[in-house]
Amino acid sequence: MQPSKSFHTVTALAIFVAGAAMIAPDVQAKEGFEKCAGIAKASQNDCAAKGHSCAGKAKKDGDSKEWLYVPTGTCDKIVGGRVAKK
């Protein structure tokens, strides 16, 4: 017995939707936190940046494109830190 065409279509659509959700997550800061760029240690970033879509993928310490969540108002006090755009 062969699976129906609609089964294949639904399966392909489910895989596509799941993949799309993983590629471009829309990450929002929790209340009272902000994204602070330039302070993450290698492999310690909080989420996606240009070049990758996962937390923990920072390749070097202090990369200006990588960020961490910190309590609001803290980033400006950290050497090398800058508040990242939301």
- Which residue would you say has higher pLDDT here, 31 or 21? 31
Q: Position 32: which residue type?
A: G
Q: What angle (nearest 5°) sits at the alpha carbon of residue 15, between those of residues 8 and 11?
A: 20
How far apart CA 69 and CA 71 sit, in angstroms, is 7
How far apart CA 18 and CA 10 sit, in angstroms, is 12
- Which residue would you say has higher pLDDT here, 33 or 50? 33
pLDDT given for residue 24 in this prediction? 44
Are 45 and 58 a contacting pair, CB within 8 Å? yes
- Which residue would you say has higher pLDDT here, 41 or 15? 41
Average pLDDT, the chain: 74
